[in-house]
């Protein structure tokens, strides 16, 4: 594995830990949802990076399914917040 991929992986993992720290510090529920969505996006990029390094197409399929699931979850949560009437 090249040093470039190792460096990118370390930066992405530091980003995940930094955003995970923000989940516990944000008082607003919408901020927490945004941060959790950012963690999901970082996980998606990590899956794509693993797929590229290992030359496996199955990881790309998992990444695509994960992206769709994350999008659906955010839409459902937004509808729930909208129906509740509070932010």
pTM of the predicted model as reported, rounded to 2 decimal places: 0.75
Domain-wise residue ranges, the chain: 3-84
Q: Per residue in 35-85, pLDDT tens?
A: 888 888 888 888 888 888 888 888 888 888 988 998 898 888 888 888 886
How many Cβ atoms from other residues are within 10 Å of residue 77's Cβ? 15
Q: Which residues, 6 or more positions from 26, have their beta carbon under 8 angstroms from its beta carbon?
A: 32, 35
Q: Output the CA–CA distances (angstroms, integers) from residue 79 to 13, 70, 75, 87, in the order listed.
A: 31, 14, 6, 12
Q: Per residue in 8-18, pLDDT tens?
A: 888 888 888 88
The pLDDT score that the predictor gives to residue 50 is 84
The pLDDT score that the predictor gives to residue 1 is 67
Which one is predicted more confidently, 7 or 29?
7
């Amino acid at each position: 594995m090249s040093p470039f991929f190792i460096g990118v992986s370390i930066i992405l993992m530091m980003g995940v830990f930094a955003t995970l720290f923000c989940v516990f510090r944000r008082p607003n529920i919408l901020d927490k949802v945004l941060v959790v969505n950012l963690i999901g996006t970082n996980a998606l990029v990590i899956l794509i990076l693993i797929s590229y390094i290992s030359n496996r197409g199955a990881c790309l399929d998992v990444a695509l399914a994960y992206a769709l699931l994350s999008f659906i979850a955010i839409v459902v949560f937004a509808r729930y917040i909208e129906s509740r009437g509070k932010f």
